[in-house]
């Protein structure tokens, strides 16, 4: 594997990647980045209002409709990520806890994707996407039912 691999790490837009307000996924990404041999070409995307970022490779994505009831913040976040990253030609795009972001980005940004889910709900959603289940499909599995009722 070449050291010139370009990686985009995408945090959930609600996750603060700052020294003063960092949350679980942000802390994990910052710690992993610190020791990565690919850190020269790894860029972390997220949304935050504060400026005390956990690392210098952070790219802040503006979201103007964060509180809007009439438009999707996730769609705006993804559109802005696409605009900022299209020219960067990432080899790998790593998405944390947001399978929906993968659905928006994958048709528009040609890359290899890594979906990382530390949240139970996101992990279940990702598992259902992997077996191609849609919203109204009926699915019965004892393990999944156990997880949903646990």
3-class DSSP string for the chain: CCCCCCEEEECCCCCCCECCCCCHHHHHHHHHHHCCCCHHHEEEEECCCCCCECCCCEEECCCCCCCCCCCCHHHHHHHHHHHHHHHHCCCEEEEECCHHHHHHHCCCCCCEEEEECCCHHHHHHHHHHHCCCCCCCCCCCHHHHHHHHC
Supply the pLDDT for residue 114: 86
Confidence of residue 135 (pLDDT cuts 50, 70, 90): low
- pLDDT single digits (tens) 32-83: 888 888 889 999 999 998 999 999 999 999 998 777 777 789 999 999 999 9
Per-residue model confidence (pLDDT) at position 18? 93
């Amino acid at each position: 594997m070449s050291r010139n691999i370009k990686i985009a790490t995408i945090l959930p837009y609600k996750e603060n990647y700052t020294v003063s307000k960092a949350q679980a996924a942000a802390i994990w990404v910052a710690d992993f980045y610190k020791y990565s041999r690919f850190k020269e070409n790894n860029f972390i995307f997220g949304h935050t209002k504060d400026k005390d970022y956990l690392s210098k490779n952070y790219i802040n994505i503006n979201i103007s409709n964060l509180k809007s009831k009439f438009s999707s913040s996730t769609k705006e976040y993804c559109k802005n990520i696409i605009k900022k990253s299209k020219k960067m030609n990432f080899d790998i795009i790593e998405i944390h806890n947001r399978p929906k972001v993968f659905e928006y980005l994958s048709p528009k940004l040609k890359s290899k994707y890594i979906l990382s889910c530390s949240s139970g709900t996101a992990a279940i959603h990702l598992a259902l996407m992997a077996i191609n289940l849609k919203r109204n499909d009926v699915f019965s599995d004892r393990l999944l039912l156990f997880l949903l009722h646990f």
